[in-house]
Chain A
Amino acid sequence: MKNLLHFIVRFHFTILFIVFEIFCILLLVNYNNYQKSEFLNSSNAISGGIYQKVSSVTDYLSLAKTNEELNRENVRLRNLLHSSYKLTTDSSFVFLDTIYKQQYIYRTAKIINNSVNKQLNYITLNKGRIHGIEREMAVVTDNGVVGVVKSVSDNFASVISVLNDRLRISAKLKGNNYHGSLIWDGVDYRKAMLKDIPFHVKIAKGDTIVTSGYSAIFPEGLKLGVVDKVMTSSGSNFQNIKILLSNDFKSLSYVKVVGDLMKEERLKLEEEATE
């Protein structure tokens, strides 16, 4: 017994070390069982408080990712929104969810190529046919119209930008519903022209221009821009109006692609009528 005590006293450092290591390794291996123990829970109240303070700072570092998630969430919610649905018949239905039938469907996409300095500007999106994107879908942001899908491959879509003089968008004055068409004159990426507004219509600087809904591409009422300058030329029945576009095409990143679920029905009807 005396010898044993001598041994322990002499090698207490190593013995204590081995005891601690065994304890640590047991903790390490059985970590999940210890997680629920009382001791660690009270400790976590302290560590939790500190972590909250720390994360309020470090959250800034993940803003880009958070933005993308929020954008996706926005699109999902927009799909549930009233304005994406259309009244199918009269209101004699009993259930609310059968009164409205969805007409517009929104999908999110990211711009991976964009230009503003050419005459014919095109935009490339990171989504394509397999994501449900088709030709002649509208591309918009919360600020307004971006363009129209021109062609799609399996994974990408090419969009005719508003900044392309081959694209004419049916637009109207929000205040009085006079409609004309919006084209880009190829000069300034922030400005476009609204044509075919008759001479007698009174227009003030700052009036809002929105999409008319006359084409089967854009839903009605999407913002295009505001009136910047009204130019009258003698001998013409129409006014030339300079529009300040609401989208800054140099800083676009995420867009929404709008599909019209009733487009075919509408086009078929319109075709029948003109035959």
Chain B
Amino acid sequence: MNIILKNIIRFVVLVFIQVAILNNIQVSGFVNPYMYILFILLLPFEIPNWLLLILSFFLGFSIDIFSGTIGMHASACVFMAYVRPYVLNYLSLRDGYEVGTYPGIAYLGFAWFFKYALTLIIAHHSFLFVAEAFSFANFSETIMRIIFSTFFTLTLIITSQFLMFKK
């Protein structure tokens, strides 16, 4: 399937899942899984940096429109997109990344994907929850939310990768 079409479908499906299902999950005020960032994780290796930023902005912005939090998810997504090339660089393989692939479990295995996803999810969630609180008051509570939500987002993202384990 065309890689552009594939990513468009992924975008729509992930935004829908986030808005219709995951946004309604708020166990004890701590746990808000944000699975939609899987879209940014799975963008191809060769994507130009400027396109990465623009796509991430629009992804965050679509979530913002549904949540009534204009700018919040968008800023967190842009931050995550900014970090992504550095993380990829840090985790790079000896032979470099294979052309025409994307950073998923299917290509690079569980251990690599786990490190990659965990780093970027923490980047996104830290930015998001600090921007949401918009202050460093009650900082311990913000930290709790980052930790719990990171755990749940990571679980969801890895589960979804196993459910759709094909190249």
- Interface check B66, CB cutoff 8 A: yes
**In whole angstroms, what is the CA distance A43 to B74 when docked?**
16
Residues from chain A with Cβ under 8 Å of B81 in the complex:
17
B30-38, B49-57, B89-97 - interface stretch:
B49-57
Our pick among B20, B65, B75 for the contact of A21 (Cβ within 8 Å) is: B75
Beyond A12-B50, A16-B53, A21-B79, is A27–B66 a contact (Cβ under 8 Å)? no
- Known contacts A20-B57, A24-B57, A47-B65: does B71 contact A12 (CB below 8 Å)? no
Q: How many residues of A contact B (CB 8 A)?
A: 25
> In the bound complex, how far is the Cα of B53 from the Cα of A16, in angstroms?
8
* Inter-subunit contact B70/A12 (CB<8 Å): no
Contact of A51 among B57, B66, B70, B75 (CB under 8 A): B66
CB nearest neighbor in B for A27: B71
Q: Which of B44-76 contact A (CB under 8 A)?
A: 49-50, 53, 57, 60, 65-66, 69-72, 74-75
A54 near B19: Cβ-Cβ < 8 Å: yes
Contact A24 B75 (CB under 8 A): yes
A16 to B50, CA, bound (A): 7
B71-A28 in contact (CB<8A): yes
Q: Which residues of B contact A44 (CB under 8 A)?
A: 65
Whether the Cβ atoms of B20 and A50 lie closer than 8 Å is yes
Q: Is A58 in contact with chain B by the CB < 8 A criterion?
A: yes
Measuring CB to CB, which residues of chain A are less than 8 angstroms from any residue of chain B? 12-14, 16-17, 20-21, 24-29, 31, 34-35, 40, 43-44, 47, 50-51, 53-54, 58
Q: Could you pull out 23 A-B pairs where Cβ atoms are within 8 angstroms?
A: A13-B53, A16-B50, A20-B74, A20-B75, A21-B75, A24-B57, A24-B60, A24-B71, A24-B72, A24-B74, A24-B78, A25-B75, A28-B131, A29-B71, A31-B69, A31-B70, A47-B19, A47-B65, A47-B66, A50-B19, A50-B20, A51-B19, A54-B20
B contact set with A: CB distance below 8 Å:
16, 19-20, 24, 49-50, 53, 57, 60, 65-66, 69-72, 74-75, 78-79, 81-82, 85, 131
